[in-house]
Amino acid sequence: MKANPQMQARLLDLQELDTRLSQLDHRMRSLPELTDIARLEAQDEDLQAEVVRTSTALGDLERDVTKAEQAVQQVRDRAARDEARLASGTGSAKDLQGLQHELESLARRQQVLEDEQLEVMERVEAAQVQADRAAAAVQAHEGELEHLRKARDEQLAALGAEREEVAGGRAAITDDLAADLLALYERVRQQTGMGAAHLAQRRCGGCRLELNAVDLSRFKAADEDEVLRCEECGRILVRTEESGL
């Protein structure tokens, strides 16, 4: 293939931009925030499940407290009625004695129920602490995610703007290149990751291998518009004043 030496030299500019584009793409894919966001997002389900678990447990205990309060109140109401009857002195001595025994029994029952009520209330306090802690963990988690996502978006926007600028420079070069030369460059780049390289100090700038005597002689004899290829890696070799030919 033949191509103007100046056009061949433009391949090095193109390769530099393509290398820059690859670096930008790699940075966009490997932002530390992306790993942190993925890790935190994977924790979402567990944190939300803990909120549900603790709030459900708290709700169950609060209902138990209500039941305990109602049981205590029922005993108090019954005792109040008995005390009123006892105080009125209405009824036989046997009935009044029975009321006295019932009041004593109700007092013991009330003490048991109040102890149970107190125990449940203590469990409610502990459950409330757990529920508050779970809710706080979710809030902190969401705050950290929001911070990371904002940092990610800012960096992606900056890198995207830089990439767009580099891509614009690339388009300006490709528009000036001969179609067959550009097609060769793109094909080699897809195969090796680098379409063109310097030929510097008799060494390929792509694979870094030094030319053997046969290739060196052939390159020296080649016309200046001849498109040279590295025999080892296949990349287009662009001659410069540092080529050593």
pLDDT, tens only, 54-68 = 999 999 999 999 999
Q: Report DSSP state, residue 91.
A: S
Phi-psi region of 211 (alpha: psi -120 to 50; beta: other; left: phi over 0): beta
Is this prediction's pTM over 0.75? no
| pLDDT at site 240 | 84
pLDDT, averaged across the chain:
93
- The 10 Å CB-count burial string (b at 16+, else e) for 204-238 is bbbeeeebeeebeeebeeeeeebbbbbeebbbbbb
CATH class of 31-174: mainly alpha
Q: Which part of the chain is CATH 1.10.287.1490? A: 31-174
| pLDDT at site 177 | 95
